[in-house]
Structures are given as structure tokens and as C-alpha cells.
């Protein structure tokens, strides 16, 4: 494949983000080693437009976020609707927040198209695409602290083909509007690792779209973490257009969606996260599951669906 996810993401950055910092409520910093860190909602205010661009760069320019409206328990709420081309590539090789960098004893998770350079992790390697450009890298991080020179150097070393001055790192806290938007936009994103874990051939997915409500309710990072993840496990719906045998879908369908966790279903994610020591590494893999998935099998004309949207936890989150 001749296109470069990093080149496409950098194009968005250079055209729509860096010249429009005041308009977006973001600020770019040049670190001592030349790396560019764009604060899209750590110390800066960020907002709707910043959240959209954080997401679209994170998809390597292969997807689009549109703001739509969802009715949740009778309350009209803004929602993040994502439509994505080459969904397996965009999600698994770029958007998924999977790559873990260990730096000075701290494990930090990154997402973004840099993961497609050489295939940085197992999920990125699950698709044949590798970024052919490799000269510059665009990375995304959900964090309360802006990355420093040391982290940028470690990341550049891990990528291998770039120097720190070739790195562009976009950062936002969860407890900002940018953070809430970019998490709710991880609707299709959350689905792909789940499919892969169950041995489904993700290259059968021809098209994908997804929506989830946006509940930015809290500056407190842990409260925000709970609210935004409730939007995914109780409010997200993803559509997949596939070309495969129906039996392949039927095989995985009962085990896909979050409602399979009957023992904890309905519990706010804030509480589930606390039970896991507020550490993603201790969150059972089955708790990071999509809310509802619809399959449209173009080979057979049949439709399949698993999971359901549950407004109650989100209404509780909305009211506080």
C-alpha cells in the first residue's frame, strides 16, 4: 500500500491544527530535542474542534468524526460518530491505544499512526499494512502530564526510523472536552481488538461506522475516566459491513459485547476501574468490550447483532 498514515496525519496537523492554535484552544511546544508536543487539553482548554482533530489524526487521516445527536433515556446528548475507510488498518495499525512504552519505570500507553511504522505491537502487526514513509511519526497520548524530552527520545528510539525532531505527540487529559470526545470516538476502535482476540479475520471487515454519546462531566481524572468509558460500554454502537461466512459471525457473536459480563453489568466503570486498582493492566480483558455490534454480511445479505444500549448508567452519570 502506497499511502502513509503518518503523512496523512501530519497533513491534518500542519493544515488544521498548528496554524489554528488560538481558534482550537491548543498550544504546540517544541522540546529541547526538537520533538513537537501539542497540548490539546492537558493545560490548554481544548474543545469540540480539538477533539475532532485529535481523533482524525489518530485515525491516520482514514476516518472522520462527525458530531451527531443521541437520545439517552429521553435526554438529547451530543455524540461522536466515526466513519472510517480501510477500518482494520485505521483502527488496528493507528487508532487503537495499545502500544506501551516503559520509560523511567513508568508504563505509558500510546495510540496513533506511529504504530504502523514497522508494526510496533501485536495489534498493529495483525494487518499487513506498514507505513512506507517512516520519516516522521504522529503519536497520541491520554495523559495528565505533557511528555518531556526523555519520553520523546525513548519513543523515537522505539520507533527506530525517526529522530526526536521528527516526532509529533498530541496530548490531552481525560477530564477535558477533548479527552471526552476522543474517548467516545473510540467506538469502532474498541471493537477491532475484540474481534481479533476471538480469531475473527479482521480483513473481512470492508466498512465500519460507530457512534457513542459524549458525556464530559468531570475535571477529576478518575471520575472523568469512569464517565467516558460508560459511554463506550453502555452507549456505543458499531456497524460492520463484512464479507465472510455467516458461521464465522455466529461463532463469535455470543462472546463479543459487554453485556456478557452478567456479574458486573450495570456497574459504573468508575467503580470497576477502582476494583482494578485504577490500573488498565488489571482490568479484565472482557470488561473492555463494546456495547453493541451489528454485522451486515454482504456475502449472504444477513444481518446479525449483539449487545444492547443501556441508558440507565449514562443517565446517572449525566445527573451526577
- The Cα–Cα gap between 185 and 198 comes to 23
- The Cα–Cα gap between 124 and 118 comes to 9
Q: How far is the CB of 72 from another protein (least distance, A)?
A: 11
Q: How buried is 92 (Cβ within 10 angstroms: 0-12 exposed, 13-18 middle, 19+ buried)?
A: buried
- Given the rule CB under 8 A, which of 53-61, 106-114, 217-225, 258-266 is the region that contacts another protein? 217-225
Q: How far is the CB of 25 from another protein (least distance, A)?
A: 6
Build a one-symbol-per-residue string for 86-125: x at contacts with another protein by CB under 8 A, - elsewhere. Answer: ----------------------------------------
Q: How far apart are the first and last CA of the chain?
A: 48
What does the block give as the cell for 144?
495528565
Per CB under 8 A, 47 contacts another protein: yes
DSSP state of 135: S
Residues that contact another protein, how many (by CB under 8 A): 31
Strand order in the sheet with 167-172: 27-30, 36-39, 167-172, 137-142, 106-111, 99-103
Per CB under 8 A, 221 contacts another protein: no
- The Cα–Cα gap between 1 and 128 comes to 9
What does the block give as the cell for 305?
447483532
Q: Report the site for another protein in 172-191 (rule: CB under 8 A).
A: 175, 177
Q: How far is the CB of 127 from another protein (least distance, A)?
A: 31
Nearer of residues 41 and 113 to another protein, judged by Cβ: 41
Build a one-symbol-per-residue string for 11-40: x at contacts with another protein by CB under 8 A, - elsewhere. Answer: --------xx-xxxx---------------
Residue matched to cell numbers 470492508: 206
Per CB under 8 A, 75 contacts another protein: yes
Nearer of residues 47 and 307 to another protein, judged by Cβ: 47
Per CB under 8 A, 220 contacts another protein: yes
Do the Cβ atoms of 258 and 265 come closer than 8 Å? yes
Per CB under 8 A, 312 contacts another protein: no
Nearer of residues 145 and 219 to another protein, judged by Cβ: 219
What does the block give as the cell for 75?
435526554
Per CB under 8 A, 320 contacts another protein: yes
In sequence order, the β-bridge partners of residue 242 are 205, 297
Binding site for another protein (CB under 8 A): 19-20, 22-25, 45, 47-50, 52, 66-69, 75-76, 78, 175, 177, 216-220, 223, 227, 318-320
Amino acid at each position: 500500500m502506497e499511502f502513509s498514515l503518518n503523512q496523512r496525519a501530519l497533513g491534518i496537523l500542519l493544515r488544521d491544527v498548528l496554524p489554528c492554535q488560538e481558534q482550537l484552544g491548543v498550544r504546540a511546544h517544541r522540546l529541547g530535542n526538537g520533538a513537537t508536543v501539542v497540548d490539546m487539553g492537558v493545560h490548554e482548554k481544548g474543545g469540540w474542534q480539538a477533539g475532532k482533530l485529535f481523533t482524525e489524526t489518530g485515525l491516520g487521516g482514514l476516518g472522520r468524526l462527525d458530531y451527531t445527536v443521541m437520545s439517552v433515556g429521553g435526554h438529547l446528548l451530543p455524540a461522536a460518530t466515526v466513519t472510517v475507510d480501510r477500518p482494520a488498518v485505521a483502527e488496528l495499525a493507528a487508532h487503537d491505544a495499545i502500544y506501551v512504552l516503559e520509560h523511567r519505570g513508568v508504563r505509558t500507553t500510546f495510540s496513533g499512526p506511529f504504530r504502523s511504522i514497522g508494526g510496533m505491537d501485536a495489534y498493529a502487526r495483525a494487518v499487513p499494512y506498514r507505513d512506507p514513509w517512516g520519516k516522521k511519526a504522529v503519536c497520541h497520548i491520554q495523559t495528565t502530564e505533557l511528555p518531556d524530552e526523555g519520553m520523546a527520545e525513548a519513543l523515537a528510539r522505539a520507533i527506530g526510523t525517526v529522530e526526536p525532531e521528527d516526532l509529533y505527540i498530541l496530548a490531552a487529559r481525560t477530564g477535558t472536552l477533548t479527552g471526552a470526545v476522543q474517548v467516545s470516538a473510540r467506538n469502532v476502535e474498541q471493537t477491532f481488538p475484540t474481534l481479533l482476540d476471538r480469531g475473527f479475520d479482521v480483513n473481512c471487515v470492508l466498512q465500519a461506522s460507530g457512534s457513542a454519546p459524549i458525556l464530559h462531566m468531570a475535571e477529576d481524572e478518575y471520575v472523568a475516566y469512569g464517565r467516558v468509558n460508560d459511554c463506550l460500554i453502555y452507549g456505543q454502537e458499531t456497524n460492520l459491513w463484512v464479507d465472510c461466512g455467516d458461521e464465522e459471525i455466529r461463532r463469535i457473536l455470543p462472546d463479543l459485547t459487554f453485556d456478557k459480563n452478567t456479574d458486573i453489568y450495570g456497574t459504573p466503570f468508575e467503580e470497576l476501574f477502582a476494583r482494578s486498582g485504577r490500573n488498565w493492566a488489571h482490568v479484565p480483558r472482557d470488561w473492555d468490550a463494546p456495547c453493541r455490534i451489528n454485522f451486515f454480511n454482504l456475502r449472504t445479505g444477513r444481518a446479525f447483532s449483539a449487545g444492547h444500549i443501556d441508558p440507565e448508567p449514562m443517565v446517572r452519570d449525566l445527573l451526577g
